[in-house]
């Protein structure tokens, strides 16, 4: 029976109408057959019973007229009258002779054949007596003719002929009555048979109609249910196509659509998770850089104050400047890494934008398919109403998907712009930090000349303080940007969470994990605020022997502030 479910809907409908037509043909053939049987029986009744009654009646009438005429000829006195009656008797005999073969043709039963034989025998006996009466009358022997006519032998034979003809007529009437009864019974049987077959045909047609309506409507009902689930964002719905007709193809197409949507949504979720993780890490790194820059600014201020107090030991300042140069180089390296992270974030956001364009294209194609399905449903007329409803629902879903994809695309474009701005900020930070290193190198060189070097170092440290403050401001902006990017990523995750793919809760877990990681990373880095200007106390520098030559020997080693810097 699977082959029937796989037929096209048009083929199923044609099959149903053909079956109804065949049932109607069977009923018609049976009815026609029964009608022809009744018609044949009526024809036989007419040909064998009704039609022969004419010759029988004609024979009976002719014989009665013969009896009247031979009585008249016996009583006639003129020769002309006798000749006239004689000729009339001959004409009546000819009528009887002509009708006898017609009567014989219609005889089928033994009783009618026997009655016919009796008529012929009685007529054969009566003819000589008739001829004798006519001859006596013509010879003028009217009295003898009358006496002979009234004799018992002639009268008895005449009555026998009448009785034989009447008997045959009665037999024909009985046969006609029986045939009529048989025809009536056959007609009733035909009506009963036709009624039974008609009832069976109607039952089969109704059953076939119900069967066809169910195998067509059930998949459509499933498609409507699936469409409602998809409208609610449920992508875990199970779609089973059990046939290969149009409804089965529709369910298969919806199944493929759901699977592709699952893949697209999974990709978008993954990209959103990556963006969220990257933004959290970027935010954590930016906060670290901002904190470090702030602490570096405080250290620079303390270094400037120390330069005023420790102008006698330029060597120590030069060493600290060298350490500051290393820190600046490390900051430049960190800034480059931050720029790389921002670039990767931009690439990820562009990938999200490309995926969203795929969603928009799928929504547009789905909208076109729904429009085509609605046109086809309109062409199908009454039978396509259910399909038109399904097409309208699919079209609404496509429009909603396209609208949501457009909103996501706008958010992604905004996030890309923000990330690019962060990258530009990092690009500006790196040259500033490199410039800081160069300035520190100049400080080291200026130490060779204590008179002018101390002043140059003081100015350079002040300039370094400004640059570090700028770095702190830029780091704060980058942290704010990364937080905004994280917020946009969470909003994207919330939007994509509308679709249920059976992996709910993963986004929240990943976001919580990223935040926990950022918090641990932040707590693990020591703060550089132990020597801020609020509680700074400079220790006296250890005197060192100044080397012979130009310049100033600064010694800034061996204090607790050096413990907060990484040794290279």
* The pLDDT value given to residue 548: 42
* The pLDDT value given to residue 311: 64
Structure tokens at 361: 């294209």
Using DSSP's 3-state secondary structure scheme, residue 238 falls into coil
Q: Report d(CA 131, CA 139) in Å as an integer.
A: 12
What DSSP character marks residue 46? I
- Whether 157 contacts 129, CB under 8 Å: yes
* The pLDDT value given to residue 175: 79
Burial 401-437 (b: 16+ CB within 10 A, else e): bbebbeebbebbeebbebbeebbebbeebbebbeebb
Residues 6+ apart with CB under 8 A from 102: 52, 55
Ordered per-residue pLDDT tens for the chain, 568 residues:
566 666 677 777 777 778 778 888 888 888 788 777 777 766 765 556 666 677 888 888 888 888 888 888 888 888 888 888 888 888 988 988 888 888 888 777 788 888 888 888 888 888 888 888 888 888 888 888 888 888 888 888 888 888 888 888 888 888 778 877 877 888 888 888 888 888 898 888 888 888 777 777 777 777 787 788 777 777 777 777 676 677 777 777 877 887 787 788 778 878 877 877 777 777 777 777 777 777 777 777 777 777 677 666 777 766 777 777 778 777 778 777 777 877 777 777 777 777 777 877 787 788 787 778 778 778 777 777 777 777 778 777 877 877 887 888 777 777 777 777 777 777 777 787 777 777 767 776 776 676 577 677 777 777 777 777 777 777 777 777 877 777 887 777 777 766 666 665 554 555 555 556 556 555 554 544 444 444 444 444 444 444 444 444 545 555 665 665 555 5
φ, ψ (nearest 5 deg) of residue 109? -90, 160
Q: Report d(CA 447, CA 307) in Å as an integer.
A: 12
What DSSP character marks residue 205? H
Q: Is 272-534+541-564 CATH 3.20.20.140?
A: no
Cα–Cα nearest to 301, from 468, 470, 472, 528: 468
Helices 53-75 and 152-231, packing angle to 10 deg: 160
* The pLDDT value given to residue 299: 75
CA-based end-to-end distance of the chain? 83
Cα–Cα nearest to 438, from 321, 352, 538: 321
- Whether 433 contacts 499, CB under 8 Å: no
Q: Report d(CA 119, CA 121) in Å as an integer.
A: 5
H helical segments located in 8-109: 9-45, 53-75, 79-105
* The pLDDT value given to residue 499: 64
Return the CATH number of the domain spanning residue range 2-224.
1.20.120.1730
Where do you find CATH 1.20.120.1730 in the chain? 2-224
* The pLDDT value given to residue 477: 78
Centroid of chain to Cα 325: 70
Where do you find CATH 1.10.287.950 in the chain? 272-534+541-564
183 vs 39, 42, 106, 187, 297, CA distance in Å?
Answer: 9, 7, 19, 6, 126
Helices (H) and strands (E) in the chain, counts: 12, 1
Q: Report d(CA 422, CA 415) in Å as an integer.
A: 11
Q: pTM of the predicted model, to two decimals? A: 0.37
Using DSSP's 3-state secondary structure scheme, residue 554 falls into strand
Cα–Cα nearest to 255, from 245, 241, 268: 241
Q: Report d(CA 311, CA 323) in Å as an integer.
A: 18
| Residue whose structure tokens are 């005999």 | 93
Centroid of chain to Cα 73: 105
Q: Report d(CA 334, CA 327) in Å as an integer.
A: 10
Q: Report d(CA 315, CA 219) in Å as an integer.
A: 89
């Amino acid at each position: 029976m699977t082959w029937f479910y796989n037929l096209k809907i048009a083929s199923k409908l044609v099959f149903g109408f053909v079956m109804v037509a065949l049932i109607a043909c069977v009923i018609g053939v049976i009815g026609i057959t029964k009608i022809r049987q009744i018609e044949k029986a009526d024809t036989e009744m007419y040909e064998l019973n009704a039609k022969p009654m004419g010759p029988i009646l004609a024979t009976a009438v002719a014989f009665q007229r013969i009896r009247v005429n031979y009585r008249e000829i016996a009583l006639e006195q003129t020769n002309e009258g006798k000749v006239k009656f004689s000729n009339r008797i001959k004409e009546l005999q000819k009528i009887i002779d002509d009708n006898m073969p017609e009567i014989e043709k219609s005889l089928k039963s033994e009783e009618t054949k026997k009655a016919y034989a009796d008529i012929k025998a009685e007529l054969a006996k009566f003819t000589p007596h008739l001829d004798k009466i006519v001859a006596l009358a013509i010879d003028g022997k009217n009295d003898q003719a009358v006496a002979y006519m009234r004799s018992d032998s002639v009268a008895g034979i005449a009555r026998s002929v009448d009785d034989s003809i009447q008997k045959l007529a009665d037999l024909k009437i009985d046969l006609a009555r029986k045939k009529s009864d048989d025809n009536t019974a056959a007609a009733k049987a035909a009506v009963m048979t036709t009624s039974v077959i008609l009832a069976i045909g109607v039952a089969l047609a109704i059953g076939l109609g119900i069967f066809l309506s169910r195998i067509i409507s059930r998949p459509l009902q499933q498609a409507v249910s699936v469409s409602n689930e998809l409208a609610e964002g449920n992508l875990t719905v199970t779609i089973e196509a059990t046939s290969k007709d149009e409804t089965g193809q529709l369910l298969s197409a919806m199944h493929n659509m759901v699977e592709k949507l699952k893949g697209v949504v999974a990709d978008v979720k993954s990209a959103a998770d990556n963006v969220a993780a990257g933004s959290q890490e970027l935010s954590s790194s930016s906060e670290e850089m901002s904190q470090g820059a702030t602490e570096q600014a405080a250290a620079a201020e303390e270094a400037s104050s120390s330069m005023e107090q420790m102008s006698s030991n330029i060597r120590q300042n030069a060493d600290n400047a060298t350490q500051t140069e290393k820190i600046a180089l490390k900051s430049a390296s960190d800034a480059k890494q931050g720029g790389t992270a921002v670039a990767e974030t931009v690439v990820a956001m562009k990938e999200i934008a490309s995926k969203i364009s795929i969603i928009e294209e799928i929504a547009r194609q789905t909208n076109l398919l729904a429009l085509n399905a609605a046109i086809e449903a309109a062409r199908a007329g009454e039978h396509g109403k259910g399909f038109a409803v399904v097409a309208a629902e699919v079209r609404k879903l496509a429009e909603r998907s396209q609208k949501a994809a457009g909103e996501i695309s706008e958010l992604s474009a905004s996030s890309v712009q923000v990330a690019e701005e962060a990258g530009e900020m990092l690009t500006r930070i790196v040259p500033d930090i490199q410039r800081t290193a160069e300035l520190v190198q100049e400080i080291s060189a200026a130490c060779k000349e204590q008179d002018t070097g101390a002043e140059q170092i003081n100015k350079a440290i002040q300039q370094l303080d400004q640059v570090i403050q700028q770095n702190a401001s830029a780091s704060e902006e980058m942290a704010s940007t990364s937080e905004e990017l994280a917020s946009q990523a969470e909003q994207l995750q919330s939007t994509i969470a509308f679709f249920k793919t059976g992996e709910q809760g993963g986004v929240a877990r990943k976001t919580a994990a990223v935040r926990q990681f950022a918090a641990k990373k932040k707590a693990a880095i020591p703060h550089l605020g132990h020597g801020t200007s609020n509680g700074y106390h400079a220790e006296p520098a250890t005197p060192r022997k100044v080397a012979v030559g130009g310049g100033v020997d600064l010694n800034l080693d061996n204090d607790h502030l050096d413990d907060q810097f990484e040794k290279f």
